[in-house]
Structure 1
Amino acid sequence: MDEQRPTWLRVPAPEELPEAVHELWAPSLEKLGFVPNVLRNYALRPSHLLAWNAWYEEAMKGDSGLTKAEREMIAVVVSVANECAYCIAAHSAALRKLTKDAALSDEVAADHRRAAVPERMVAALDYAVKLTLRPTEMTEDDVEALRRAGWTDEDVMDIAEVTGLFNMSNRMASGLGWAPNPEYEALGR
């Protein structure tokens, strides 16, 4: 892919976009100094972007027994399992920023089972990887393993939902050639 192109599709010019999209972009510009390509690329369908973002915000930042960092760990392992370059870069950066621990983010991406995370989180990440790679093999025993690790049923639902969100997002990114912003490499380092 040409490094100047953030996707294989047309990226709408900012002046083509409704005010709601500009409002969505504003916090990224303020906090990061750039608009993530996911938001620029998804803006080809503004109503889809706004709906996806509402789901993303609720799943990743809404009320949950999982911390934001734990949800980012799920995003990272799912993206690694799917070999999604965009989401690996973006969510490894987000995990680095949240934890202020670049080594942990790299460990989770390289092999979550060897990363410095509690066993309870290893169980959640194992579940997310299995659901990603072998969804037809999921059984009630997989949920029971999460309960034994200390997760509530609400937590298990959140783990499954974040896993599903990133499987969908990975498919969009990989299927449409979304390139990660180069700025992600330095974030949180």
Structure 2
Amino acid sequence: MAQDVSRFGAVSLDELPDDLRDRIAVIAEKSGFVPNVFLALGHRPAELRAFCDYHDAVMERETGLTKAERELVVVATSGANHCTYCVVAHGAILRIRARDPYLSDRVATNPWSAELSRRERAIVDLALALAVDPGAFTGEDIDAARDAGLTDEEIWDVGAVTALFALSNRMAHLMALRPNEEFHLMGRLPRD
């Protein structure tokens, strides 16, 4: 079973240090399962702790981009980076947060031409410019986002989310991280 999660195996929830076990238990309680990313990264508790701390600092902020818009960045950049785990896991979260069962599929499969609002298009275009060819990223990319109405705080959010998931995507590729089956239906079917 551990090899099914990651090519480097996985730990069980009870093998994690108390602080991480408690933190992941809250997520498991809310979702109904333990996302594989935590079990796969769990064999290096310090790295898992740092990942969780940075994730929460970037993704759970109360100002700037909405939580749905942050997930939009994750799905768009993860799609561009061909990261199956993040597309599937965060696609589920995007479906729930955006209350749209189709948005994540459109964005994950071709973020460059997905039909989006002007604001969403500006967010996705900025994220893709930074994610796909960061060496070519210029002030013109930021100016385009500003012209579309994004604030500097929101532009920073796009960059921070893009950067965090560049790390996450590459670790998922390294591990051959398998998405939990539960993610596939989340946000597609009404909750009981």
Tell me whether the two structures share a fold, i.e. TM-score over 0.5: yes
CA distance in 1, matches of 2:111, 2:32: 30
Contact 1:11 1:43 in 2 (8 A): yes
Residue aligned with 1:102, SS: coil
Matches within 5 A, 1:134-145: 134-145=133-144
CA RMSD of aligned residues (A): 1.7
Runs of 4+ in 1 over 6 A off after TM superposition: none
TM-aligned CA deviation for residue 104 of structure 1: 1.9
Give the corresponding residue for 1:8.
Answer: 7
CA distance in 2, matches of 1:113, 1:131: 13
Counterparts in 2 of 1:14 and 1:111: CA distance versus 1, 3 Å: closer
Give the corresponding residue for 2:63.
Answer: 64
TM-aligned CA deviation for residue 4 of structure 1: 6.1
Contact 1:65 1:154 in 2 (8 A): yes
Q: Provide structure 1 residue ranges, at least 5 long, that are not aligned to the other structure.
A: none
TM-aligned CA deviation for residue 113 of structure 1: 4.8
TM-aligned CA deviation for residue 15 of structure 1: 3.5
TM-aligned CA deviation for residue 99 of structure 1: 2.0
Contact 1:6 1:41 in 2 (8 A): yes
Aligned residue type for 2:44? R
CA distance in 1, matches of 2:70, 2:113: 18
Q: Provide structure 2 residue ranges, at least 5 long, that are not aligned to the other structure.
A: none
Aligned residue type for 1:154? E
Give the corresponding residue for 2:107.
Answer: 108
Give the corresponding residue for 2:126.
Answer: 127
Counterparts in 2 of 1:177 and 1:88: CA distance versus 1, 3 Å: same
Contact 1:64 1:158 in 2 (8 A): no
Residue aligned with 1:74, SS: helix
